Structure 1
Amino acid sequence: MTSRITCPTLAARVTDAEQAATHIRPGMTVGMSGFTGAGYPKQVPQALATQIAAAHERGERFGIRMLTGASTAPELDGVLARTGGIDFRLPYQSDPELRERINRGEIDYMDIHLGHVAQFARSGFFGPIDVALIEVAAIRPDGALVPSTSVGNNATWLELADTVILEVNADQPAGLEGMHDIASCPAPPHRPPIPLTTPGQRIGEPYLRVDPSKVVAVVETHGPDRLTPFAAPDDASRRIAGHLVEFFRHEVARGRLPANLLPLQSGVGNIANAVLEGLREGGFEQLTAYTEVIQDAMLGMIRDGLITTASATALSLSPAGVADFVARIDHYRQRIVLRPQEISNHAELIRRLGCLALNGMVEADIYGNVNSTHVAGTRIINGIGGSGDFARNSFIACFMTPSTAKGGAVSTIVPMVSHVDHTEHDVSVVVTEQGLADLRGLSPRQRAHAIIKHCAHPDFRPQLQDYVDRAYLHSRGLHTPHLLPEALSWHQRFLDTGSMRV
């Protein structure tokens, strides 16, 4: 480990996780590293959870306000939620224990666009940041920090926090050094443009910076990121991918996209991986990516030269993907750039680059509004993540899902979504295994026709068409026909009977 901490000043502050955790006290706001299970602190949160549990046994209240980049892992989100140590959490989560406690009302959770977090923090919307707890891969002689497998909001937490705790993880590849590009956005007004015009361009430096006087503890750790591989694409995912690949071919033929498309943004999950594999099989070459997370499918395309450059804020790889990444890290370092999420998710850059956004959803309604976060309008799943950053600003925003869920009992195409994350104005394309609806240039009634015809499952198509027909007659036309007493009846039927079927 001594080779990972070569700054004498910070080497003198090496301590154990238990001692480091004592710097986090009840009621504090803590900015932590971590983005989709990558680069999160591994030991201090567990020591903190032990101290919180002991305080609760003494009858003392001990909870913190916890801010991260996105989701983390059981060793952070899970253990602190289970101990009752989280009072407030943002901006994205995926841990089952944390999710359950949020939905029981035990933890206040703020779902927020990932691209907004840094500016909101600098503006003071979350209050003072008391502590930053950040995993890094190494500390250089001058005190510069080699970032880990995710960047997220780490630069912001290090800038704003009163005190800093660093975990230096020797299990993170030393070859990560040089892969990052750390830049930030000046506060308004009179902000200059961000000088980035291609996904692989570098506009900052490869290191995180911190005032050494703020560092109160450095903890040496060993441990891999807790990354669970996504399931292999199923038949529905492959059919969704096929529809999208055919759509992109059509756009190229019409001259609306270049032969190598535009920079890809791909959400996480097996559908996103299936789409990337579909692009590979479809013969597309010389692709680029400007996204948030690099998963196995994208890594494989970078390895094989199908994607020439990929910009992201985190690596979210399976164990096999990690092994491949480490074995070819010199190759990947020339082709992957990891940035702060305020840059990877910045509206100006997404719009300038003309990204193609590929994101999953829970449901879409007949007019093109999309719910990507809630079940039956009330129960949060994970969060909006960066899908809104990209949907609002991309050249084409695609939302994907199988047409049914719960064994066919639930239609993912409904009369009215039970929760709105992306309005009809931000949704270009809706895709299910049934087909693809291109909503660009269509009125609400035309969108309803396209979505029902191309995306709804045949078992639910008559119900949806009946709803639209009766809504149009009842409202005597109007711009967006609805039967308000029935608009959410499908969801109520599911809650009452376990099925949306009539």
Structure 2
Amino acid sequence: MNAPVSSPSVSPARIAHPDYRAKLMSADDAASLIGPGAVVGMSGFTGAGYPKAVPQALARRMEAAHAAGNPYAIKVWTGASTGPELDGALARAKGIDFRLPYNSDPLVREQINAGTVQYFDMHLSQVAPVAWQGFLGPLDVALVEVSAILPDGSVVPSSSVGNNKTWLDRAGKIILEVNSWQHEALHGMHDIYYGTALPPHRRPIPLVHPNDRIGQPTFRIDPAKVVAVVATDTPDRNAPFKAPDDAARAIAGHLLQFFGHEVKMGRLPASLLPIQSGVGNIANAVLNGLMDSPFEPMTAYTEVLQDGMLDLLAAGKLAMASATAFSLSPDAAEALNGEMHRYRDRIVLRPQEISNHPELVRRLGCLAMNGMIEADLYGNVNSTHLMGSRIQNGIGGSGDFARNAYISIFMAPSLAKGGAISTIVPQVSHVDHIDQDVQVIVTDQGLADLRGLSPKQRAEQVIANCVHPTYRDQLSDYYARALRDSYGKHSPSLLDEALSWHQRFVQTGTMRAG
């Protein structure tokens, strides 16, 4: 059981409104306001801006209740993934009954795959609208980390925005964690837009460039709903990125060559279009590769700002970046905090219903670069499930961008598990992105440009460019027999073999035949 942590002292400048200072209490006292069965909307997006003290206190209450033989679990809504002090602590206490919309915590993943936690995996742009539509039911509590409360009662967001605006508006009760670790210069970096509405009252969102600011820098909160304010001084926690390996560098090289070709052909401007990059070591390697590219000044309209994008900003290669959260290694987070004033006018953090809004992605013409678990011959992509049934993380925002991007790119090494798994398979075991939403597939072996191609033409490009030599003959043999024997010749498939590679791995530990 985690030991109680005493509340740190907090500067009056961080909680400058007297009504809110009067509601200061310990994390344990605040946690007592969240009862069993509560639906709690928590801040947090890729390990940034999540509450850190109250969830741990809540986990202690859950463990004590369970020890006494009493049930105690809650439903957790967030922006995306969080950190070990939230998802990890609640999972260890067996305190999560339901989770949405994205998770990367290994213990929560284990419980989801064991069937003890119900998980609703959904497109990130849809979470706020779905919450407003009401079919998920009421939101009891908003537990949100902020960086300051101003004298007028407005609230400065933290290092992520996510769905916090919606949680604060929808919840019956609000608990605020004011984190003094978050830099005071975050004030002014956010753009909180209050112009969204449900049909039939929707209006166009007036954003036409990635650097447009269309909202206000703070949250509006009904002070009557605030039941507790908790002072914290705890850093965000993200794992450091790994140095790019040979496969990541090869993927980056293929992709940069492709961009250069698109510029030469007149299909992209010399500075590219706004880039969107998923989270991870390969995505970060691509961003690092852009450092030595001829493309500048670039812009970004994306979900998260990670190390490689911060480096591009520092070097002047990236003019500005729009996101909903940071996803920085500890070293990069420390560097950002040391120079926050330098970046405040070049970074915009927005609610994820805006950062991931499909119409805005299409209007701006984003270049979407996302990771995948596997792809098949025809370009269908699985980004969430291992062997068809074990959830890995979730679809996140990849679908928001892939279907609406100017160019939709998915990338991964051609092998996994030391060669026991081929990333390119006859048929994906789970479909997150249909072939119509996938335009480019990149592995360390090469790049397949699938735009404008029929299914059989796509298959030929994928086999020729993306499959590792270990599996190329095996896949070519399957495809040749599918051309000969399949029920139809448009997208040839052998129904009794299409998922045999996955079944072979489950049974023998490898996809290799023979």
Q: TM-score, normalised by structure 1?
A: 0.99
SS in 1 for 2:469: coil
Q: Distance in 2 between matches of 1:60 and 1:172?
A: 37
SS in 1 for 2:147: strand
Q: What is aligned with 1:497?
A: 508
Q: Distance in 2 between matches of 1:275 and 1:330?
A: 27
Q: Does structure 1 retain, via aligned residues, the 8 Å contact 2:237–2:330?
A: no
- 1:124 to 2:124 alignment: no
1:407-486 superposed matches below 5 A: 407-475=418-486, 477-486=488-497
SS in 2 for 1:15: coil
Report the Cα offset of residue 316 of structure 1.
1.0
Q: Distance in 2 between matches of 1:297 and 1:277?
A: 5
Q: Deviations over 1:202-259 (max 9, x none)?
A: 0000001110000000001110001111111111000000000000000000000000
Q: What is aligned with 2:67?
A: 57
Q: Deviations over 1:152-197 (max 9, x none)?
A: 0000000000000000001110110000000142111141100000
- 1:10 to 2:15 alignment: no
One-letter amino acid of the structure 1 residue matched with residue 476 of structure 2: Q
- The number of residue pairs the alignment matches comes to 502
One-letter amino acid of the structure 1 residue matched with residue 430 of structure 2: H
Report the Cα offset of residue 58 of structure 1.
1.5
Q: What is aligned with 1:351?
A: 362
Structure 1 unaligned residues grouped into runs of 5+: none
Q: Distance in 1 between matches of 2:241 and 2:107?
A: 19
- 1:192 to 2:203 alignment: yes
Q: What is aligned with 2:352?
A: 341
Q: Match for 2:256 among 215, 236, 245?
A: 245
Q: Match for 1:304 among 289, 298, 315?
A: 315
Q: What is aligned with 1:165?
A: 175
Q: Distance in 1 between matches of 2:192 and 2:35?
A: 30
1:6-405 superposed matches below 5 A: 6-184=16-194, 185-405=196-416
Q: Distance in 1 between matches of 2:447 and 2:292?
A: 19
Q: Distance in 1 between matches of 2:186 and 2:65?
A: 39
Aligned-pair identity (%): 64
Structure 2 unaligned residues grouped into runs of 5+: 1-9
Q: Distance in 2 between matches of 1:103 and 1:71?
A: 17
Q: Does structure 1 retain, via aligned residues, the 8 Å contact 2:303–2:325?
A: yes
Report the Cα offset of residue 327 of structure 1.
2.0
Runs of 4+ deviating beyond 3 Å:
none
Report the Cα offset of residue 477 of structure 1.
4.9
Q: Distance in 2 between matches of 1:414 and 1:15?
A: 55
Report the Cα offset of residue 68 of structure 1.
0.2
Bigger mean CA offset, 485-494 vs 323-332: 323-332
Q: Distance in 2 between matches of 1:72 and 1:305?
A: 30
One-letter amino acid of the structure 1 residue matched with residue 471 of structure 2: F
Q: Deviations over 1:15-73 (max 9, x none)?
A: 11111011111111000000000000010001101111111112111110100000001
Bigger mean CA offset, 48-57 vs 153-162: 48-57
Q: Distance in 1 between matches of 2:240 and 2:198?
A: 38
Q: Distance in 2 between matches of 1:26 and 1:476?
A: 54
Report the Cα offset of residue 319 of structure 1.
1.6
Q: TM-score, normalised by structure 2?
A: 0.97
C-alpha RMSD of matched pairs (Å) = 0.8
